[in-house]
Each structure stands twice: as C-alpha cells, then as structure tokens.
Homo-oligomer: A and B are copies of this chain.
C-alpha cells in the first residue's frame, strides 16, 4: 500500500466508523485529515481534499473546536485561518471522554435519580425501582470509568508539568 492509499483508507475508515457512533461523516473525516496533516490546513485545503462545501467545512470545524479536538492557528502575514488537530492522542481521548460524560452520562444520572424516588406501593412499582437501581449502578460504573480516563490524563499532564520545572 502506498502512503496516499493509506491516507485515503484512514480518512475513509474513520468517517465510516464515526457514523456508528453519533458523529457525522464530514466531522470525522475532517478530524482524520487534520490528525495526519503535518502542517495546519486552511478551509480551502480541507474543502478540496474532502470534496465538501464551504458551509459544511465551516460548521464542522467549529464543532471540532467545541469538542476541543482541533485548534485555530494564525500564520503571520496570512489573513485566513489555519486549523491543526490536537496530536496528543491521549489528550484527545480525555477530551472525548469529558464531553461524552457531560453530554450523555450526567443527564441519565439525573433522570434515574428522579425515577428512583417513586413510591413502591405496588409490586410493579417495586420492580420498576429495582430496574432503576440496577441501571444506576451500571451508569455509575461507566461514569467512574470515564472519570478514570479523565483523571489519569490530568495526572499525566501534571507529571509532565512537574518534569519541566524540576
């Protein structure tokens, strides 16, 4: 396989994969493209390389910035904006874990806690409460796993920080 083939395959695969999670193809492909780009790219570059429209590029680049997965970079003497991906893959993982936790886990925890509160006067309601409690424990497990990723990396970051200053 040539390098260009590998590049294409990576971008393509990442895009396909993303749709299985709730992420759209353009966003995933943009991220993939920027991940392997040795230099920051301008909007025009990504439009051309991925064959997508200006609006699409603009919106998804912004979303990627909201996720903290890419950064805007300004080049001196250049008017347009360039984008580069966070290359530290563990930082990317931490960022994704953080966002998914905030967007997906936290709301469920709240609803489950609310639903656990119903009175248990009938057998049916008792069964319901049992299920809610079970789900709470599973969601709690997922939550602490994500937290472990987030915290482990914060510690790692901290350790790097210490290295620099000792």
Which residues of A line the B interface, CB within 8 A?
A: 1-3, 6-7, 9-10, 13, 17, 19-22, 35-36, 38, 87-90, 92-93, 103-104, 107-108, 111, 114-115, 117-119, 122-125, 127-128, 131-132, 134-135, 137-138, 141, 145, 149
Copies in the complex: 2
Task: Give the interface centre of A9, A20, A89, A138 by most chain B CB atoms within 10 Å.
Answer: A89
Given A17-B108, A38-B124, A127-B36, A1–B138 Cβ distance below 8 Å?
no
Contact across chains for A128 and B3 when beta carbons are under 8 A apart: yes
Contact across chains for B118 and A1 when beta carbons are under 8 A apart: yes
Chain B residue nearest to A133 in the complex (CB)? B89
Instruction: Specify which chain B residues have a CB less than 8 angstroms from the CB of A145 in the assembled complex.
Output: 145
Instruction: Specify which chain B residues have a CB less than 8 angstroms from the CB of A6 in the assembled complex.
Output: 115, 118, 128
CA distance A114 to B87 in the complex (A): 21
Contact across chains for A9 and B124 when beta carbons are under 8 A apart: no
Contact across chains for B3 and A36 when beta carbons are under 8 A apart: no
Ranked 10 nearest A-B pairs via Cβ:
A89-B134, A6-B118, A3-B125, A93-B138, A20-B22, A13-B111, A36-B128, A38-B127, A6-B115, A89-B138
